[in-house]
Structure formats: C-alpha cells, structure tokens
Amino acid sequence: MAPSSRTSKGKGSGSKKATAAGSIPKPYRKIPDSLSSFVEILDPEHVYVAHVDSKLPAFKRKIFLVPVALNLAVFSLFVLRLRYIAPYYKQLALAAAGNHVTGISLDTAALSWTALSWIIFRRGFTLFLDLVLLIFVWPWPVEFCLGRTHGNPCLWRWQVGFRDKEVYVRRSREWDRQLAGRDVLTDQAPRSQLATYVRNATSPVLLNDKTGYLTMNGDWDLDWAAMVYAHKLVDAKALALDEFRLVVLLHHKEHGWLVLDTGSGVSGGSKEDERRRQVFAFREALVGLGKEDLFFRWIETVQFEATQPGGMTEEKQVAVAQKIRDLFQDEGINFDELWRESVGSDSLAGM
C-alpha cells in the first residue's frame, strides 16, 4: 500500500437516447478543459490511448536504434540493387524503342520455344521482384524518415529527443470502422468491443514491460505528430505531463470528445489494474535509482503487517505508512515525493 496523503475536427456517431438523457454514462466523461487544445489535432474517426513512458532514456535509445539500423539496411540494399539493375533496365528500354542492344535484343527466329520461354520468364521474374520491392519494401524507410500523414519516427525523435518521461499516443487501426454508426455509450455490442481493445492496450503488464515504441501492434499505431504536439504543449507549460498519465480519448457525435476512464472498470474491470500499474511504475522508479531491493522490502513490510492479528485497521494503516516512510528515509528517499512523481497520484488507486 502507499501511505495516504489525505472541439473537434470532425463528426462521430451519436445516440438520441444519450442526448435525451443529457448525461454521459460511466466509465465515460467529458474531457477536461486542459485537453481541449490537444484533441484539436486528433481525428474523430479514431480512438486514442495516451500514456507516459518512464523507462530510462538509454533504454529507449537502444530500442530506437533497432528500426534505425533496419531502415538503413533496407535503404542501403535498395541503393545497391539500383546500381546493379539500373543499366539492365536502361538497355531494356533502348531495345523496346527499336535499338539493337547486345545481350538484350532477341533473334526470336533463331531461338527455340524452350529458350525463349526461359528468357521471358527470367525477365518477367526480375521485373516482378523489383516491383514487389518498390511497392512493399521501399515505403518502410520512406515512411520512417519522410512520412507526413501522421508524422514519422525520425521527426518525432529529432524534436522530442530521449527523455526520462515521454508521452506516447496510440491511434486505433482498422478495427475502429466497426464502431462507425454505432453508439458506444448505449449499445452494448460496440461498447464491449471497444472495451476489449482498450483493456488490452492499457494492460499494466504491457505498459510496464514495454517501452512506448513497442506498444505498436495490429490494433494500434503510434501517432507521431500527436506525440510531438503533446510534448510541445507540455514544454510550453500549456498542459501538465500528468494529463497524459493514462488517458483514452474517443469522439461522440452529441457529446464531443470523451475520456474513457479505465479506472472506473471498463468492460467489467476494476481498480486492480490501476493499482498494478501504479506498483509497476513505482518499482520502475526505484530500479532507476538503483534501489530495487527497497521495493521488495516495502512489499514485505505491507504483507507482514496485513497478516498480523486484527488485520489492517485504520490505526494500523497510519502506523505502517509511517514505518514505510521511515524505511525509505533511511535510504535518503522521500516516499511521498517519489510516489507522486513516478505514479502521478497521492495514494494507491481505490485506497
């Protein structure tokens, strides 16, 4: 336990029932005014998940070097392939224009059907292979460095750099089309479907084990432009970093942008996931300080006191809280400040 310290760019789908009621059912709520400037750049056709990654900058740098190396390798191979194959295609073009090119122009009368078929197959396969590379592989390094629709990783890292705390914004992929024209506030089917995707995306295990760059998958893509914009707002003091601690955003036709409160039990969940996320985040902070052993001593202290006769009464909670503060103070760490900085709240969720 933690010691206690006492307008959008487009349209979405709506529901007459929700409008008539004039209220928004839990776990949805209107976005806070502070996020109004951020959602202006978001596409209302998508669902967004934002969170803050507190992994060490050195670790994030190592992770980012992998796609950098991969895209450099792809680019280098393309350059080599181009240098090798360009003269061949130049000769083919000259031959197609009616010029005689040694080794390219064919005397079909002197060739057997077998030999002619083999030459046609070989040239056709070469053309097919290069088309596949051009259409499906070449876009990787292009999008990585020059993508403009939703920004690109290179521009994101150039403008944001590697920070102790970074904002990551994920955008829903094609599955969100299944929600079009349906009201997630009142219709149970799309509501459950949305909840399933969100629950998987906000799993404490996922957010703790993976740096934000690795949270991309078949259901969610990173929105590089939104991430750059989020950091611009934070750097300009227009928005607090904690606003992105863990927030799910979606657009509703009648109510505008809404927050799906994961702590309120999306799809039947409970505050247990949020507590687990907080504990993981706190452990990560202690690991960064080289004090992981202190984390386990904290857990052991709480578990020991909780199993004592009489249980964890309010009076005992106060005593245990002070004991934990003293334990951390002996190591030169202010528990309350570290918890607030790493977790973003004053106490464990639901306690």
* Predicted confidence (pLDDT) at residue 313 exceeds the cutoff of 90: no
Among candidate residues 161, 162, 144, the one with its CA nearest the CA of residue 153: 144
pLDDT band, very low/low/confident/very high, at 268 (cuts 50, 70, 90): very low
- Strands in 28-30's sheet, in edge-to-edge order, are 28-30, 256-260, 246-252, 48-53, 166-172, 220-222
* Predicted confidence (pLDDT) at residue 265 exceeds the cutoff of 70: no
pLDDT band, very low/low/confident/very high, at 96 (cuts 50, 70, 90): confident
Average pLDDT over residues 253-259: 92
**Residue 92, token pair as written in the block:** 């083919």
Average pLDDT over residues 74-95: 90
* Predicted confidence (pLDDT) at residue 197 exceeds the cutoff of 50: yes
Which pLDDT belongs to residue 3? 55
Average pLDDT over residues 256-264: 81
**Residue 94, token pair as written in the block:** 């000259």
* Predicted confidence (pLDDT) at residue 311 exceeds the cutoff of 60: yes
Average pLDDT over residues 147-160: 93
Among candidate residues 46, 32, 34, 8, the one with its CA nearest the CA of residue 250: 46
Which pLDDT belongs to residue 345? 66
* Predicted confidence (pLDDT) at residue 266 exceeds the cutoff of 70: no
Contact 276, 284 (CB under 8 A): no
**Residue 321, token pair as written in the block:** 């809280």
Average pLDDT over residues 133-137: 90
Which pLDDT belongs to residue 120? 85
Helix axes 272-288, 292-306, angle to 10 degrees: 140
Which pLDDT belongs to residue 263? 60
In the chain, where the domains are located: 16-59+149-269, 63-145, 273-343
Average pLDDT over residues 236-250: 91
pLDDT band, very low/low/confident/very high, at 173 (cuts 50, 70, 90): very high
* Predicted confidence (pLDDT) at residue 13 exceeds the cutoff of 70: no
Alpha helices by DSSP H, listed for 289-351, are: 292-306, 314-329, 335-343
Average pLDDT over residues 153-167: 95
**pLDDT > 70: percent of the chain:** 86
Cα–Cα distance, 190 to 94 (Å, whole number) = 59
State the pTM of this model: 0.70
Cα–Cα distance, 191 to 182 (Å, whole number) = 9
Distance of CA 305 to CAs 6, 180, 278, 319, Å?
A: 21, 51, 21, 10
Average pLDDT over residues 155-164: 95
